Structure 1
Amino acid sequence: MLRFCWISMFMLGLVPAGLPVSWADDGRAPGMQDTSTQSLIEQVGPSVLTIKVSGRDGDQLQMGTGFVIDPEGLIATNFHVIGEGRSFTVETRSGRKLPVTGVESSDRPSDLALIRVDVAGDPLPALSLANGELPRQGMQVLAFGNPLGLQDSVVSGIVSAVREVEGREMIQLAIPVQPGNSGGPLVDSQGSVIGIINMKSAIDDNLGFAIPIGQLAMLRENPNPVTIDRWVRLGRIDEKRWTPIFGATWEQRGGLVSARGLGDGFGGRSLCLFREMPDASPKDIAVEVRLDDESGAAGLAFHSDGLHRHYGFYASNGRLRLTCFKGASVYSWQVLEEVGSEHYLPGQWNRLRVRLEPGQLKCFVNGHLVIESIDQQLTSGKFGLVKFRDTNPDFRGFQFGENLPALSLSDQAKELLNELVEQPDNLSAVGASQVSLLGQSGDAVSRELQHQAVQWEQRAERLRKLAADVQMAPTLERLAELMAAPSAADSQLLQGSLLIAKLDNPDIDVDAYVGRVDAMAAEIRESFPEDADAVERRDALHRYLFEENGFHGDRAEYDHPANSHLNSVIDDREGLPITLSILYMELGKRLGLSLEGVGLPGHFVVKHVIEDSAEQLVDVFERGRLLSREDAAAIVAAYVHRALTDEDLRGQTVDQILARVLNNLIGVAGRTQDGESIHRYCGALIAVRPTSIEARLLRSQVRAVTDRRGGAIEDLDWLIEQNPAGIDHEAVMRMRESLLP
């Protein structure tokens, strides 16, 4: 399924007029027989306009494209080009600035807008619009625009298809996409506009989309005009009541206040302070806030000097934090307290309230006290809203006063809720009268129900994690026993690699794959005589793997976890240097070859020790390429920019090889922030190397963040008992203390 992204700047990278354009052999594009390319460009170009949108501080925020559809000053473009509530200018190719009088029609869902400009008695050249029929597949088209203000630009392409995208009919185009020209016209061979460019694919720069022109006709027939004075204020914060500072875009629709974009303050901080200051400082300040991204932060600001000094009580990373901001830099910020609370509902509306009492600050979430502080560094000032980082929060219900009403439940509602919580199977039997009863307590009941739902979801998630850990435990135990048994030395590498793969694929039959490797080796043995020397045996191994069966290094999906799973390497015949080398060594061992794994920095190879003590390096990833010492030196220089050493060529032990496989998997999981996978791989790393301090410390951290508090404490207790050199013993103790209930 294709993924798409809207872009707020015009979209297509265009070729300046006059440069060669690729057409059919007769010099003209298929379907463009009535108008030459050059005359078509000259015909359409003067009707293409540049639109510049201003930011809050008057600087240029973005640019886009529009085109004339009526000589008396009606301009078509995309809704997102003009920016909701933003000031913008319209300019012709000759530099003529056209005063904007209003937005004639606009429709956010269809991303279309019609702008009215004052032509001052000098009509504009208008483009003709196609009759509204959808273009045929394969039609050659031209897209016009003004990338970065460069006028007279055009790119050619074809209509790939007409398809539904995000619930709307769109024209799919085979056109190279770069920052370019949203809102620009897409024209046919007659110069008639068949679409408006506005969308690009997030996965391929040569794939673009346009809105069929028929949708513009419907908008034109149903105008909803807004004068430019009203448009510029549309959606803006009411600056008679609020004062935004430190950037970001604060908007207001009815009682809903929204903050969008990064603030100018450190960490993307931005404030929106309430203008009215009562005679006496309020005792209560409250607001409901909803974060679109819990990794951000947003909430209440109070006792502000109007600049950098203020308190903040806000949600951050799913926790509640009270901070004293005493300056512009993070070094002047003091986090007074940070807590988790089961009453905070991630992704939902949460009511934050601060109670200002003499010598004390009390902070509540959804009616529950979560923080008390006697901090008195700031004692008066303005109050309002604050946001941080790249989250886009919404606020509603901002209040202040002497004693704000708290969320509360009636006794009957409490009794019914307790009954439902204790007997959740009765939820389906709740009738209209009971719903009405609960509804009399308003948001308090709704939030309590959401709170219970979150708790049940958390319990379900813990059960799923426990089930996964229980399923994984026998594999880890088998791996640990294998590595601890001297009698199993010959099978440690092959079985250990397969057990690592089994962590992600529980259905793997390890013994079956061991038998598969034995069968592969037997097939190779049949291809050479019994008295074959080491080189002849190696050549037979190479023929089998690389010529007859096509084993190769996977460059297309190098970081795919399957490349580290030996069963997948065997089945798919591709993998990483290290897993291909493991298979190579296991087959070679069965053929009587003396092979060792060599972990060059950044690239794993195999060393073949031949009977006369000569050594040959083999790059299995490169289909068995034989490497000289100079080749190995070049690999080391490319990865770590130093000379090759004898230590680099030393054969690795089984535990070193398996640890390298696991560290590869940990790296891939880390890049995708897959904590569950990292937890599995850390468990295997400890099974392979029980005394590894690094693995134990990493697993304790992963267990802590994946809500495995008991396991994390066990790992920390082990570290405390071992007390190894180089580890911050006090930090380990503090981490353990933080995990206690």
Structure 2
Amino acid sequence: MDSFLKLLRLQVMKSLVAALLCVFVLDATSPAEETLSLKELISKVRPSVVTIRVQGRDGENLGIGTGFIIDEQGLVATNFHVINEGRRFSVETFDGDKLKVLAVEASDRTSDLALIRVAFPGGIDLPALPLAKAVDPEQGTRVAAFGNPLGFKDSVVDGIVSAVREVQGRSMIQLAMPIEPGNSGGPLVDRSGRVLGIINMKSAIDDNLGFAIPIGQLVSLRQSPNPVSIDRWVRLGKINSQTWSPIMGANWQQRGGLLSARGMGKGFGGRSLCLAKQKVPRLPFEVAVSVKLDDESGAAGLAFYSDGDNKHYGFYPSNGQLRLTCFKGPSVYSWEILQDVPSDHYLPQQWNRLRVRLDVDSIECYVNDHLVITSTDSQLTDGSVGLAKFRNTNPDFRGFAIGQDLKANPLSKATRDWFSKLDQRDLLPSEISDDELAELGKSSETAARELIRRAAQLEKETKQLRQLADEVKRAKVLAKLTRLFADDEVKGDRLLDATLLVAGLDNSEIDINHYHQRIDTMASEIRETLDDDADSDAKITALNSYLFLQNGFHGGRSEYYHPANSHLNRVIDDREGLPITLSILYMELGRRIGLTIKGVGLPGHFVVRHEPVDGEANQQLIDVYEGGKLMSLDDARLRVMQHAGRRVQASDLESQSDQQIVNRVLSNLMGIATRSEDLESMLRYLDASLAINPDAVDFRIMRAQLRGVTGRKSRGMADVDYLLKTDLTGIDIQRLMQLRSAIENH
């Protein structure tokens, strides 16, 4: 329950992927040709991959990462966080030969990249990997990642490029493959062995998603070296051992008044402590620090009443909540969560001041000087205080203090009055005077934090209002979709109307009547070329000529997964689309000139079938995506074998209903939204799917999860309640109750 957002996002993505693969049949293109087999690729790349081991203060192994050789004279690329500052590290080849580390040739903490200068015994040249051009790889490119995941040396994992997107302000390659600690710093290569990127991190959403830094960023770093000898490197950022005592691993560093922790600790959950050697005063006293997390799914904050080993309390943010815990031993079974609460006063991705007041019979926990937890737990009553971090987050700390009263200076009356006017909308932030600004500056940190908190709240409210505006716009569209499929009666324009309404989910300005008129006009122009007694063959020839020869309609290959290819209005305007949307247009025009044309949903490729009147030729499959090319049964068998890896089944060749066709259009749009993690678009398409299929259990569960994740708590619970009240077989009642509870308590 405490990690609701992360767990629900994980459930949502896994459920949606499963639905897209199992419930829907997606249109897909063939993969690009592979230059090398995986076995050949491993043989080529592995000699250039190295293992990097980071040593602790006493020479113990702190962690393992990966690097790869990019220059025959001894230049190794890796992530900055693999080597970090203040620790010695070793580099060894895949067959165990040690490489002498000479220097860190270049490093960039922000881009998380480093270049290491090494020397091979005997001066032998090292096998360097070729770097790809500094351009983003195409979606769907087959790739392989080399590294040492979870300490297992020389591992290889195969996958594809899902997308190139911005992550925390950096351009990153999103990968459909499992990434684990130890993969970091390893090469991401294409099937010819060229390096496309550097493995950087695993996804917090799904175990089968990872990220890599594009190779262009490494090329830029190589062009701007800032060499530091290895002897000097191990002294950079070294923590002051006279004032701090790190325990349970991780790499604690100090730069001026800023402390940071990098890497996983040795305690369960990646726990690591850094205890202050300062004498603890008599009760009551307080301990405080400001902390900033780079990853809110991790945790970091204060530790107190520590025995210098595994026993201590902890107060820290975790997954956006504030948590008080008691650690009574080295294992997860000795860990007790005393309280875990939300707070509007905690600011994600910002500096937050944590403060704990300890008295004989109470523990009070504050965030940004607001009381969030009070506890009378007394399992531990004495010990050291300091800092703690957990999991993969890399926190920064500043302003650590121990004292009798560490409350921040309160806002002055003039500042409180200014905030009161702001609340009452008596003034705008832009109207602040110089004197008022100077007054706020007297308590700058507290006042600035309060302004950031209010800005975050307003941004949240603005987002909710925009969401609501979008939902209001599409409510009319969904009502029309529901009416269209309220009964099984065949309605002449139902498929056309429904497909245009689906496009209207993403563009509420679509004029459906206009596109009706466009199609009627197109059909009229085709009829003008036909004789009065034209047979079906003549009509198909005229239809093909009109669409593909005279007007240039074609399959959208260069931007196959662009949403416009699934929007019928854009297909008509741009003369480009997917197999299914081109087929819908073909069927609608065919119907208007007297042809009976049905949709056929082959796995991965939608085609149509002409069903002639009695006395004419046999039924014929037509591939509209390929310009109206006739498709034989052998062609269909081959297509099914290529896409589904099985023989064609009778159901593959059956005519699809309007409902099935519209569902398939929605599946294509859902696939695009899922790949880009566009939760709002995913919700739109689920709304439409449920308007057409109200009893679809999987869709309703997915929508409940998405509604919970996006803050639509009451409607998420309503979806669960609908399923609980509906007599449907195969529903796991206990799981639904757990989901409802998770949404309700978020």
TM-score normalised per structure 2: 0.68
Following superposition of structure 1 onto structure 2, how do residues 207-246 of structure 1 map, counting pairs within 5 Å?
208-209=219-220, 231-245=233-247
DSSP-derived class of the 1:289 partner: strand
Following superposition of structure 1 onto structure 2, how do residues 267-346 of structure 1 map, counting pairs within 5 Å?
268-275=270-277, 278=280, 284-303=286-305, 310-324=312-326, 335-346=337-348
Task: Give the corresponding residue for 1:711.
Answer: 715
* Mapped pair 1:617 → 2:621: yes
Task: Give the corresponding residue for 2:54.
Answer: 55
**After alignment, is 359-368 or 269-278 more displaced?**
269-278
Q: Which has the higher contact order (CA 8 A, sep 6+)?
A: 2
Conserved in 2, the CA contact under 8 Å of 1:482 and 1:488? no
Task: Give the corresponding residue for 2:352.
Answer: 350
Q: 1:681 to 1:110 in 2, by over 3 A?
A: closer
DSSP-derived class of the 1:286 partner: strand
Task: Give the corresponding residue for 2:195.
Answer: 178
Conserved in 1, the CA contact under 8 Å of 2:283 and 2:360? no
Aligned partner of 2:588 among 573, 586, 589: 586
Conserved in 1, the CA contact under 8 Å of 2:287 and 2:402? yes
* Mapped pair 1:727 → 2:726: no
> How far 1:253 moved relative to its partner?
0.7
**After alignment, is 667-676 or 327-336 more displaced?**
327-336
> Hey, what's the Cα distance between the residues in 1 that align with 2:708 and 2:108?
48
Task: Give the corresponding residue for 2:658.
Answer: 654
DSSP-derived class of the 1:586 partner: helix
Q: 1:553 to 1:299 in 2, by over 3 A?
A: farther
Following superposition of structure 1 onto structure 2, how do residues 407-446 of structure 1 map, counting pairs within 5 Å?
408-423=410-425, 425-446=427-448
**After alignment, is 601-610 or 506-515 more displaced?**
601-610
> Hey, what's the Cα distance between the residues in 2 that align with 1:226 and 1:207?
18
> How far 1:452 moved relative to its partner?
1.7
> Hey, what's the Cα distance between the residues in 1 that align with 2:326 and 2:455?
33
Q: 1:696 to 1:55 in 2, by over 3 A?
A: same
> Hey, what's the Cα distance between the residues in 1 that align with 2:569 and 2:120?
53
> Hey, what's the Cα distance between the residues in 2 that align with 1:442 and 1:465?
34
Task: Give the corresponding residue for 1:679.
Answer: 683
Aligned partner of 1:571 among 570, 573, 581: 573
Conserved in 2, the CA contact under 8 Å of 1:300 and 1:313? yes
Paired amino acid for 2:622: V
> Hey, what's the Cα distance between the residues in 1 that align with 2:707 and 2:114?
52
Task: Give the corresponding residue for 2:203.
Answer: none
* Mapped pair 1:398 → 2:415: no
> How far 1:365 moved relative to its partner?
1.4
Paired amino acid for 1:533: D
Task: Give the corresponding residue for 2:744.
Answer: 739
Q: 1:324 to 1:632 in 2, by over 3 A?
A: farther
Q: 1:301 to 1:592 in 2, by over 3 A?
A: farther
Q: 1:108 to 1:336 in 2, by over 3 A?
A: closer
* Mapped pair 1:663 → 2:662: no
> Hey, what's the Cα distance between the residues in 2 that align with 1:66 and 1:592?
68
Task: Give the corresponding residue for 2:608.
Answer: 606
Paired amino acid for 1:421: D
DSSP-derived class of the 1:294 partner: coil
> Hey, what's the Cα distance between the residues in 1 that align with 2:221 and 2:553?
44
Conserved in 2, the CA contact under 8 Å of 1:675 and 1:702? yes
Q: 1:262 to 1:587 in 2, by over 3 A?
A: farther
Q: 1:303 to 1:621 in 2, by over 3 A?
A: farther
Task: Give the corresponding residue for 1:697.
Answer: 701
Gaps of 5+ in 1: 1-49, 69-74, 118-143, 161-165, 167-175, 182-200, 220-224
> Hey, what's the Cα distance between the residues in 1 that align with 2:78 and 2:731?
58
Following superposition of structure 1 onto structure 2, how do residues 87-98 of structure 1 map, counting pairs within 5 Å?
87=88
Conserved in 2, the CA contact under 8 Å of 1:65 and 1:145? no
> Hey, what's the Cα distance between the residues in 2 that align with 1:548 and 1:466?
44
Paired amino acid for 1:56: Q
Task: Give the corresponding residue for 1:141.
Answer: none
Q: Deviations over 1:335-384 (max 9, x none)?
A: 54433211111221111233445565443211222234555666665543
Paired amino acid for 1:313: F
Following superposition of structure 1 onto structure 2, how do residues 445-524 of structure 1 map, counting pairs within 5 Å?
445-484=447-486, 489-524=491-526
How much is the aligned-residue C-alpha RMSD, in angstroms?
5.0
Q: 1:623 to 1:301 in 2, by over 3 A?
A: farther
Q: Deviations over 1:84-131 (max 9, x none)?
A: 54547999xxx999997x9999999999999999xxxxxxxxxxxxxx
Q: Deviations over 1:649-701 (max 9, x none)?
A: 32222122212222322222122121111222122222222333333332232
DSSP-derived class of the 2:410 partner: coil
DSSP-derived class of the 1:351 partner: strand
Following superposition of structure 1 onto structure 2, how do residues 96-245 of structure 1 map, counting pairs within 5 Å?
150-151=125-126, 178=195, 208-209=219-220, 231-245=233-247
**After alignment, is 106-115 or 462-471 more displaced?**
106-115
Q: 1:723 to 1:327 in 2, by over 3 A?
A: farther
Q: 1:310 to 1:434 in 2, by over 3 A?
A: same
Q: 1:385 to 1:584 in 2, by over 3 A?
A: farther
**After alignment, is 434-443 or 375-384 more displaced?**
375-384
> Hey, what's the Cα distance between the residues in 1 that align with 2:577 and 2:306?
59
Paired amino acid for 2:655: G
Q: 1:367 to 1:653 in 2, by over 3 A?
A: same
Conserved in 2, the CA contact under 8 Å of 1:325 and 1:332? yes
Conserved in 2, the CA contact under 8 Å of 1:177 and 1:207? no
Paired amino acid for 1:645: Q
TM-score normalised per structure 1: 0.69
Paired amino acid for 1:676: E
DSSP-derived class of the 1:260 partner: strand
DSSP-derived class of the 2:648 partner: coil
Q: Deviations over 1:160-213 (max 9, x none)?
A: 9xxxxx9xxxxxxxxx973899xxxxxxxxxxxxxxxxxxx976779955877x
> Hey, what's the Cα distance between the residues in 2 that align with 1:206 and 1:626?
48
> How far 1:583 moved relative to its partner?
1.8
> Hey, what's the Cα distance between the residues in 1 that align with 2:213 and 2:628?
38
Task: Give the corresponding residue for 1:11.
Answer: none
> Hey, what's the Cα distance between the residues in 1 that align with 2:100 and 2:696?
71
Conserved in 1, the CA contact under 8 Å of 2:134 and 2:214? no
Paired amino acid for 1:715: D
**After alignment, is 630-639 or 273-282 more displaced?**
273-282
> Hey, what's the Cα distance between the residues in 2 that align with 1:644 and 1:667?
24
> Hey, what's the Cα distance between the residues in 2 that align with 1:97 and 1:292?
33
Paired residues, what number?
613
Q: Deviations over 1:288-323 (max 9, x none)?
A: 111233344332344556566654432233332344
DSSP-derived class of the 2:195 partner: coil
Paired amino acid for 1:502: G
Q: Deviations over 1:131-152 (max 9, x none)?
A: xxxxxxxxxxxxx999x98449
Identity between Structure 1 and Structure 2 (%): 48
Conserved in 2, the CA contact under 8 Å of 1:303 and 1:379? yes
